[in-house]
Amino acid sequence: MWFKDFLNMYKAGISHEFLFYFNVRDLVDNNRYMDRYIQEEFIKQRGFSIIAFYDISRGLTFYDSVMEKEFHKITLNEAVNLTHSLPSKVFPYIDAALKNAKMAVFIDHVEKIIPAVDIGSMSLEERTALIWLCEWSVNTRISAVGSTIFMLSDNLADVSREVLKSSYKIEPILVELPGENERRDYIEHLIRDKNIKTDITIEEFAKLSSGLSKKAIKDIKLRAEAEDVPISFDYIKEKKYSVLKKEYGDVLEFIYPEIGFEDIGGMERAKNYLMKNIVNPIRNGDLRRVPMGILLCGPSGTGKTLLVNALAKSSGFNCVKIDMSRILGQYVGESEKNFKKCLLGALSQQPVIVFVDEIDTAFRRGDGGDSGVSRNIFSEFLQFTGNTNNRGRVIFIAATNRPDLLDPALKRAGRFDKKIPVLLPDIKERAGIFKVMIKKYGFETDITDFTGFAARTDNYTGAEIETVVRKAYEIANEDEREGNVLTGDVLGEAIQKCRPSTQQVEFMTELAVKECDDMDLLPEKYRDQKLFNA
């Protein structure tokens, strides 16, 4: 896809200088990396006389000696001893070659040459390189000759923002991670060797490897061979976590839940909605039914985070959490750079659930007191959540107990366009929660019907019922008692000693009910039209 985008822009004469970013060090097909692919699919077919490569560590190198001689001929041999110099020394000669021959130059690790810092904080060397790179993009002589500049960077946010200004004609091109079909084709290519042990099918391998580059997939295969173990679900999960943690662990929290919908009590309406409108449509390829984003509203402790974890487990989708404490940095531009990396990392995991807890405090427009950082991040978040291309690929789910504090731009249709209330459990749901919690901790009990205990815990949240169950186990293990069975007397005593502590439950419940935009998602007791339409 990236090559097609580049080719279309080149043919249309939009630019002759391009900035490729993100997955630029991966295999494009089964055998060729990016520079070789561009050479064979683009450069060789268009009669370029010079192909050169530059990065700070290796300096200026050439595709072959004939091209190197041609370069030195054009530059009158003045650059013979300067090919391993810094940009300020080499770029003037590259400039001369670009204007006098049809030259293709690859500039790798461009973020090391023109880093994303304030221009005032740049060194003279960095400012000089920035001027050359920007000026090349608008030079008509370079365009007329047919020369082309290819810049490569792992992270666009690490590159000086100056190059993206509209006054210059440098076109950024996202090189995405391989999609499922690409991964499947590559895996088929890799495991032609019948000696490789696998406990999963190629289709399963392709699905499980979402978010990984082809290099990472090959690494899994080679490690499994070296360790003489089969490639399995658990093996891929372990290696994948290691890769993703290393790549994005500084800005994203990866969630690997252990419980599914069957392991949580209550919330039947919410669970049914998520299965029918997210999990099943995505699995069946019908993304029209999938909402752009979901806002979970309700009092603290009612299980909003638990519901997201269960969705991730039951669907099998990747799940990440945006934690703003990992995003915000102390240096100018660092927070915005981290957030761009965070979103790109989330996008690479598709289909992926992106969870934002307490979104009312995480994303705000800001008042300028932080030099515009909050405003910039908020704007970036709005743009990303409103991108319809992400429907069914990136599922944003946010949780809040104060939806009234959210910016209206976040709640509009096309972003978090489905609001699901997660409220206090009713008597039947509380009975189910008691049963699930005792099973969760593996506690022994002789109770078969929890209805009576559910009746005694009116206005308890799921978290508070969990506290009661743990207190019951604590009581059952006191020295003067025999055994540690959770009997009716023990559980009753725990209920007496554990009172509900959640503050402002009624207020937060009312806010969640008012915010709900679908009556089908409301419990019967809240379906009074006056309250729903209030």
> Does 295 lie in the same domain as 233?
no
In this predicted structure, the answer to whether residue 86 has a pLDDT above a threshold of 60 is: yes
338: part of which helix (H) or strand (E)? helix 334-347
Backbone dihedral angles phi then psi of residue 461, each to the nearest 5 degrees = -85, 170
More confident residue, 43 or 406: 43
> Does 412 lie in the same domain as 274?
yes
> Does 67 lie in the same domain as 209?
no
Does 511 fall in a domain? no
> Does 197 lie in the same domain as 306?
no
> Does 272 lie in the same domain as 195?
no
Does 157 fall in a domain? yes
In this predicted structure, the answer to whether residue 530 has a pLDDT above a threshold of 50 is: no
The answer to which of 22-26, 120-124, 140-144, 284-288 has the lowest mean pLDDT is 284-288
Q: Round to whole Å and give the CA distance between 378 and 471.
A: 42
* 174-232 per-position pLDDT tens digit: 998 898 889 999 999 988 766 778 888 898 888 888 888 999 999 999 888 889 899 98
* 403-457 per-position pLDDT tens digit: 988 888 888 878 888 899 988 888 988 998 899 889 888 898 989 999 999 999 9
Domain boundary among 175, 207, 233: 175
pLDDT at position 362, please? 79
Q: Round to whole Å and give the CA distance between 428 and 451.
A: 7
pLDDT averaged over every residue in the chain: 88
pLDDT at position 258, please? 78
> Does 412 lie in the same domain as 438?
no
> Does 17 lie in the same domain as 70?
yes
Domain boundary among 369, 390, 421: 421
Q: Give me the number of domains the chain comprises.
A: 4
> Does 407 lie in the same domain as 289?
yes
> Does 454 lie in the same domain as 345?
no
Q: Round to whole Å and give the CA distance between 410 and 297.
A: 14
- Please report, for the domain that includes residue 190, its CATH number: 1.10.8
Does 527 fall in a domain? no
Walk across the sheet containing 253-254 and list its strands.
253-254, 318-321, 352-356, 394-400, 293-297, 418-421
> Does 143 lie in the same domain as 19?
yes
What is the distance in angstroms between the CA of the first residue and the CA of the last residue of the chain?
48
Backbone dihedral angles phi then psi of residue 124, each to the nearest 5 degrees = -60, -40
Give the residue carrying structure tokens 């679900």: 233
The answer to which of 199-208, 284-293, 361-370, 425-434 has the lowest mean pLDDT is 361-370
Domain boundary among 247, 271, 299: 247
Does 528 fall in a domain? no
- The DSSP code sequence of 141-208 is HHHHHT-EEEEEES-GGGB-GGGGSTTS-EEEEEEPPP-HHHHHHHHHHHTTSTTS-BSS-HHHHHHH
pLDDT at position 128, please? 96
* 93-107 per-position pLDDT tens digit: 999 999 999 999 999
- Please report, for the domain that includes residue 485, its CATH number: 1.10.8.60
Does 505 fall in a domain? no
Does 303 fall in a domain? yes
Mean pLDDT within 497-514 = 84
Residue 33 DSSP class? B
Does 475 fall in a domain? yes
Confidence of residue 315 (pLDDT cuts 50, 70, 90): confident
Residue 67: give the domain boundaries: 2-175
For residue 275, which of 505, 488, 267 has the smallest C-alpha distance? 267
Backbone dihedral angles phi then psi of residue 151, each to the nearest 5 degrees = -105, 140
pLDDT at position 505, please? 85
pLDDT at position 367, please? 58
More confident residue, 148 or 237: 148
> Does 61 lie in the same domain as 36?
yes
Q: Is the bond preceding residue 351 a cis peptide, omega within 30 degrees?
A: yes
Does 155 fall in a domain? yes
Amino acid letter, 476: A
- Please report, for the domain that includes residue 286, its CATH number: 3.40.50.300
> Does 398 lie in the same domain as 266?
yes
